[in-house]
Chain A
C-alpha cells in the first residue's frame, strides 16, 4: 500500500519533470529524431545490503526491481549537425525488498545527455555529456534523498565485436536534515554524499546472440554503511567518521566517512530478439577506508526490452 502511494507520487513527479524537460528543449535548434522506450524487470540478491564493514553485522536480502523509461532523442540540424544528438529521458524505478521492507522505494528520475560522434562509421569515437536527477522515495523515509549526477563518457567501437567506454561522473546526494543526532557535535546527515566515480566498460560479443560485459569502477568520496550500536562506538575510534545516526530499518547505526570503493561487474546479455534480452551477472564491491572495508556481492538476472 505504501509502495502504491509512493508510486503515484512518483508518477506525478515524472510527469512534471518530463514536461519541464521537453519544454526546455523548445528554443534549441534541434529536430525530433526518435523515441525510445525502455523497460526491465530484475531479480537481484545482495549479501551486504547495509554495507557494513563488520562481518557479523552484514545483512543480506533479495529484491525485485522494475524500471520503465522513456526518452526522446533530438538530432541537431545545424553546425555540428548530423553527428550530435540530445537525449532527454524520464524514468521510474521500483525496488521491492524481500526482507527489509524499509528499503522499498520508488525512484522517479530524469536524464539529459548530449552525444557527439567524431566522424562517420561504427568505429568513430563518441563523447557523451550526461546529467541526471533522481528522487528516492524510500519506505523508511529517513532514507529519502535527491541525487544528481553529472559526467562525461568517451567511447569507441574497436571492432564489430568489441566496444569500450570510460566514464567520469560526480554524484551528489541530499538527504533529510532532521535525522536523529546520536553524538552532539557529529552531524546526522549520513545520506548527504558527494563522490566522484571513474568507470571503464568493455563489451565483447561471444556469439552473435551473447554479449559479455565487464565493468570496473573506482569511487572516491563519501561512503555510508550500518552496524550495531556497540560497533559504531568502536568504529568512531578507528576511522574519521563524518556523520552518524540511528537506522530504523536495520535497527542499528548508520555512519558516513570519507573513503573509496572498487566495484567489478561481469555480466552477459542473451539477445532474444532485436528489442529484448535476458541479462545476468555479478557485481563485487569492496569499499571503505584503511582496513575497514565492506564487501558486497550481488547477483542479478533481468529481462530487458527496448524499442
Chain B
C-alpha cells in the first residue's frame, strides 16, 4: 500500500516536470567581435513578439554587485526591469557608488558592508557604475526589457533555456557595443521541444577606457 503510494507520487512529480518543460525551447548564442574574437560578458536577451508571454513573470527579488579589492564584481550584471540590485562592499574600506546613466541615476555615499537599501532598476538600458574614491572602478548593470537573458562566458557563448515557444527578437548588448542593442536584433522562431537554435552575433566594438590604476612614476591623482 505504501509502495504504491510512493510510485503514484513519483509519477505525479514526473508528470509535473514534463508539463513544465513541455513547450520549452533552447537558444544557444555566440558573440564575437568584428575581429572574430569571442566577447565575454555580452548580454544576450530574447524579446518575445507576443508581449502576453511576459505577463506574470516577476523580476528576480534581488541581485548583488559586490566590491572586492577595489573592483566591482561582476563586471556586467544583467537584470530584468523591476529588479532590486544590492551593492554589498566586501572590502574593508569604504566605497562611494554612483551612476550618471540615463537608465538610472543614483548615489550611495561612502559605506562599508551593506548599504541601507538596494537600488531599484525599472528602466531598460545600460547603467554605468563608478566609485567616487577609486576612479578606475567601473562596471555595468544592463536592465533588460525581457526576462529571457543570459551573459556570455569567456568563449563568447551563452544559452537561454526554457524559453516558451514563439517568435522572438534576439539582441545583444556589451559595454563596448557600437550602436544600440536594437540594431543587433535577429528574429527567431522557437518550436517546442525542438533542437536548440543557434544565433551568432558579430558586434562592432568601440574602445572603452577606464582610468589607470597601477602605480606610476608620476604619483598623484585623486584616490
Contact = CB atoms under 8 A, between A and B. Distances in A.
Contacts of B218: 201, 203, 213, 215, 265, 267
A160 B210 contact: yes
Nearest to A268: B217
Q: Is the interface of A mostly helix, strand, loop or mixed?
A: strand
Interface string A113-128: 0010100111010101
Interface in B196-223: 209-218, 220-223
A160 B214 contact: no
A304 interface: yes
A148 to B, nearest CB: 18
A82 B109 contact: yes
A115 B222 contact: yes
B153 interface: no
Given A160-B209, A272-B214, A276-B215, A153 B220 contact: yes
Interface string B85-102: 000000011101010100
Contacts of A211: 212, 214, 216
A33 interface: yes
B130 A121 contact: yes
Interface residues of B, number: 30
A155 interface: yes
Given A115-B222, A155-B222, A201-B220, A306 B211 contact: no
B134 to A, nearest CB: 9
B209 A161 contact: yes
A306 B215 contact: yes
Contacts of A205: 209, 212
B66 interface: no
A271 interface: yes
A230 B139 CA distance: 66
A13 interface: no
Interface string B176-212: 0000000000000000000000000000000001111
B71 A269 contact: no
Nearest to A302: B217
B110 interface: yes
A185 interface: no
B215 A38 contact: yes
B110 A75 contact: yes
Given A82-B110, A121-B130, A279 B209 contact: no
A163 interface: yes
Given A82-B109, A120-B132, A155-B222, A274 B217 contact: no
A30 to B, nearest CB: 12
15 contacts: A31-B94, A34-B94, A81-B109, A81-B110, A82-B110, A115-B222, A121-B132, A128-B222, A155-B222, A165-B220, A203-B221, A213-B218, A274-B214, A304-B217, A306-B215
Given A124-B132, A157-B135, A305-B215, 14 more contacts: A31-B94, A82-B109, A83-B132, A121-B98, A157-B221, A160-B210, A203-B212, A203-B216, A211-B212, A213-B217, A269-B215, A271-B212, A271-B214, A274-B71
Interface of B: 69-71, 92-94, 96, 98, 100, 107, 109-110, 130, 132-133, 135, 209-218, 220-223
